[in-house]
Amino acid sequence: MATIAIFGGTGYAGSAIREEALKRGHSVIAVSRSGPPAGRAQDGPHVPGGPDVQYQQGDVHDDGLVEALADEADVIVVAIPGREINGRKLIDALGSLTTAAAKTGTRLGFVGGAGSLLVSEGGPRHVDGPDFPEAHKNEALSHADVLAALRETSDDVDWFYLSPAAGFGSYAPGEPTGAYRVGGDVLVTDANGTSFISGADYALAFVDEIEQARHSRERFTVAY
């Protein structure tokens, strides 16, 4: 079993990944700026003999914390927004993340965005289309910058970047089905042209990738 550290481990995607990993017997370190959820201890398992999860208060921009987690964990999951928060963007933390990962051999897994996906093979990006919500463009473009930077890293950094379907988030959590379809750089849609994935099934795909490592140094996407 692996030790998985999750930045954003109490957020929407991070929580779903945390619970899926625990269900499979992995050890989880859930890091968030706000600390553990209500009713959860700062450190230690849920209950004696229960799933092994530790909650830590911390920030991805803390280089010392990143180094410590890379020493301890097999995989570091980054499940936080790409846009600027408190004066810093996710891309500002990429240097310390990739340096630590290269030094320790820890794998990096990113909860990506759908905006950088192409709407069709050879077509424009989803974020550049006329129907993409203006309110979400800053986040989408910030995360697209993260993906572009990851693609420029040296071969000694093992990473994957999982873009969800266009319809994904706490506003429409959906229901777990235990199934998903995999794509590459093109948005995956169903027969009706809908692109959607529930939080639980996105987490299913994410932990499958942690266990099976089929997309080393690649972006991929999942949807129904």
Q: Residue 114 and residue 39: Cα distance in Å, rounded?
A: 33
Cβ partners under 8 Å of residue 204, min gap 6: 20, 176, 178, 180
Structure confidence at residue 36 (pLDDT): 78
How wide is the angle at C-alpha 184 spanned by C-alphas 181 and 186, nearest 5°?
Answer: 95
Torsion sign, CA atoms 18, 19, 23, 28: positive
Structure confidence at residue 51 (pLDDT): 60
pTM of the full structure: 0.93
Cβ atoms of residues 60 and 92 within 8 Å: no
Please provide the average confidence, as pLDDT, over all residues in the chain: 94
**3-state secondary structure (DSSP) of residue 164:** coil
Q: Residue 106 and residue 122: Cα distance in Å, rounded?
A: 33
Report the 3 state secondary structure along 104-141.
HCCEEEEECCCCCCECCCCCCEHHHCCCCCHHHHHHHH
Q: Where are any strands of DSSP class E within the chain?
A: 3-7, 27-32, 53-57, 75-78, 107-111, 159-163, 181-183, 218-223
Q: Residue 218 and residue 224: Cα distance in Å, rounded?
A: 20
Structure confidence at residue 39 (pLDDT): 54
Percent of the chain with pLDDT over 90: 92
Which domains does the chain carry? 3-223 (3.40.50.720)
Structure confidence at residue 105 (pLDDT): 98
Structure confidence at residue 47 (pLDDT): 40
Cβ atoms of residues 160 and 216 within 8 Å: yes
Q: Residue 206 and residue 170: Cα distance in Å, rounded?
A: 17
* pLDDT tens sequence across 27-73: 999 999 987 776 555 544 444 344 689 999 999 999 999 999 999 99
* pLDDT tens sequence across 85-107: 999 999 999 999 999 999 999 99
CA dihedral 108, 111, 115, 121 (to 10 degrees): 60
Q: Which amino acid is at 58?
A: G
Percent of the chain with pLDDT over 70: 94
The pLDDT of 206-222, averaged and rounded, is 98
The pLDDT of 105-119, averaged and rounded, is 98
Structure confidence at residue 122 (pLDDT): 93
Residue of 194, 18, 36 lying closest to 111 (CA atoms):
18
Cα-based distances in Å from 6 to 21, 76, 104, 137, 169: 11, 6, 17, 25, 18
The pLDDT of 118-129, averaged and rounded, is 96
The mean-pLDDT minimum among 43-47, 79-83, 133-137, 194-198 falls in 43-47
Structure confidence at residue 155 (pLDDT): 97
